[in-house]
Structure 1
Amino acid sequence: MGELRAGRKAGGGGDGAALAGAVAVLAAANVLNNRVAPRLAPLTSAAATGALLALARHRGITWAEIGFRDPARGLRIGGLLASAVAGGYAVGIALPATRPLFRDERALSLSRARVLEEALLQVPFGTVLLEEAGFRGVLPALVARSHGPRVAAAVSSVLFGLWHVLPATDMAAANPALTRLATGETSAETSAETSAETSAETSAETAGEGAGETSAEMSDGTAVETTRVVAGSVATTALAGLLFCELRRRGGLAAPALLHLATNSLGYLFARLAPGDPGGTARRTV
């Protein structure tokens, strides 16, 4: 036991540098995939995944420590959870009360070819590959060497939450219904606010000077809503990271990867399948 602790201390500095390097690789990939070249995300993520795995192996971390183990068990667990996600989505679009939550403009505005690209290429190789290899594989393995598995799960999950700041900003603009839910608005409140904003706009246009003030107030309100959506997304994805880490502990990387894949890829499918409101403006591009 004493030798093991001494070994951990001796390698602590190297593991810390490796952890910093892994975080830097992930941060760079996050900006590239969300802001610079989103369509090239599969290539960026593949390169980043290779760099993370090379870094981990250079530190002497085994494939089993990274999470490449128990494939049969992981496929069983992940398959069951993926089926549950599909069932939950089917119920969600069938119920009028929850149906608006699935109308995401990012999916509705895409052609069928682009939806297939997102579901079959961008999500598996541009999102799931890197996030699972990074946040459920390499990062926990590096942290666990010095601080144990519980701290490793917590650290990687917090970083996983922060990873979603940029995507959550886009989501706030693409899915207004989900934004209202995240900010705690009810349908009545939303209708009242819409009516008030319409009246304010009309008065502002008549008065002239009020137009600028109304625009500034609406901008401030949107910024506040976006901030709340981003904070909520960071918190929920951090909690999801803890769940994924537990699945990884039980069934290796295959279990969380299948759940992650189903959650994201099926989201595109069910957004397209969700019936539109009779008077809605949601559009589907052929």
Structure 2
Amino acid sequence: MTRRFLPLALTSVALLVWGVLVVPRLPPAPGVRTTANLLAVAVLLAVTRPSRTELGLRRDRAGSGLRWGGLVLGVVGAAYVVALLVPPLHELLDDAAGTETTAELLLRVLVFIPLGTVLAEELAFRGVLLGLALRVLGPVRAALVTSVVFGLWHLATARTPDAAVQDPLLSAVAVLGVVAATAGAGVVFAFLRLRSGSLLAPVAAHLATNALGLVAVAIAVRSGGRPALDTPDLGAVLSQLAWCG
């Protein structure tokens, strides 16, 4: 019985070691983490050899994936528009971290996030890991287990060294909040993958959350007419979760 769970356990550990220990130590130069993540996922695919069904890449399910993904894309996009139009919500986005130039923002939104974050993470978690989990667990437990691993994957990006020095307790709470939020997002992404039968659905949802979120933050900061603050907040979280460049 234990040996049945070994591929799932080893893959989970390998993903966490990569995401929490290796990636944060890579050079910060643009594109390095994106390239590294794509290469790591290529190795993961070569080692585990999942079927197209397990990856959610069956052609006959692509239409369903696009429909579900498009729905979520529209809902998330509408939510960010509302956040930009409603003053209190606009202020939450305005208190953002990061003030990239337009070129840097476009590079992150059009290249680094779609490839290094969305494609890499969806292939790894809603593709390979969820496929392995479904071999030994039912759909609900498989979704929960892989989503917990997905949340823990974000431990490194959730940590803010300056905040930890100033208030360790507050920093720990913030880290737990980010891990819980990303685990919750993982549950939604897993549901979309299972419901649609296609990886395209969580890819679209993930892209909407990260890329549109970063664009909303940039619009809020620039329209607010003041520099970004250094305190952790909604904008900072959105920026941190788009760490792939």
Output the TM-score relative to the length of structure 1.
0.70
Q: Which amino acid aligns with 1:255?
A: A
Runs ≥4 residues deviating over 6 A: none
Per the alignment, residue 214 of structure 1 pairs with none
Partner of 1:116: 106
- What runs of 5+ residues in structure 1 fail to find an aligned partner? 1-8, 174-217
For residues 276 and 124 of structure 1, what CA distance do their matches in structure 2 show? 25
Q: How many angstroms does 1:234 deviate by?
A: 1.0
Match of residue 153 from structure 2: 163
Q: Tell me if structure 2 keeps the 8 A contact 1:22–1:55.
A: no
Task: Give distance in 1, aligned partners of 2:70 and 2:162.
Answer: 30
Structure 1 range deviating more: 86-95 or 30-39: 30-39
How far the C-alpha of 1:92 sits from its partner, in A, is: 0.3
The answer as to whether partners of 1:154 and 1:242 remain within 8 angstroms in 2 is yes
1:47 corresponds to 2:39: yes
Structure 1 residue aligned with 2:94 = 103
Identify which of 224, 241, 249 aligns with 2:194.
249
Report the AA paired with residue 36 of structure 2: T
- 1:89-116 C-alpha deviation (Å, 9 max, x unpaired): 1110111111122236444x21111111
**Cα separation, partners in 2 of 1:104 and 1:137, compared to 1, 3 Å:** farther
Residue pair 1:82, 1:258 contacting (<8 A) in 2 also:
yes
Partner Cα separation in structure 2 for residue 171 and residue 72 of structure 1: 44
Pick from 169, 176, 192: which aligns with 1:224? 169
Give the whole-Å Cα distance in 1 for the aligned partners of 2:101 and 2:206: 23
1:271 aligned partner, one-letter code? V
1:195-225 Cα deviation digits (max 9, x unpaired) = xxxxxxxxxxxxxxxxxxxxxxx945x3222
Residue 52 of structure 2: aligned partner: 63
Report the equivalent of 1:177. none
Change (3 A) 1:122 1:172: farther
Distance in 2 (CA, whole Å) between partners of 1:111 and 1:253 is 32
Look up the equivalent residue of 1:250 and give its one-letter code: R
Q: Per the alignment, do residues 234 and 18 of structure 1 end up closer, same or farther by CA in structure 2, a change over 3 Å counting?
A: closer
Question: 1:187-206, aligned counterparts within 5 Å?
Answer: none
Q: Does 1:36 align with 2:26?
A: yes
Q: Distance in 2 between matches of 1:172 and 1:249?
A: 39
CA RMSD in angstroms, aligned pairs only: 2.5
Shift of 1:170: 4.3
TM-score, scaled to structure 2:
0.81
> 1:22 touches 1:52 (CA, 8 Å); kept in 2?
no
Aligned residues: 223
Q: CA deviation at 1:23?
A: 3.1
Kindly, what percent of the aligned residue pairs are identical?
A: 36
> 1:132 offset after TM fit, Å?
0.6
- What one-letter code is carried by the residue in structure 2 that aligns with 1:154? L
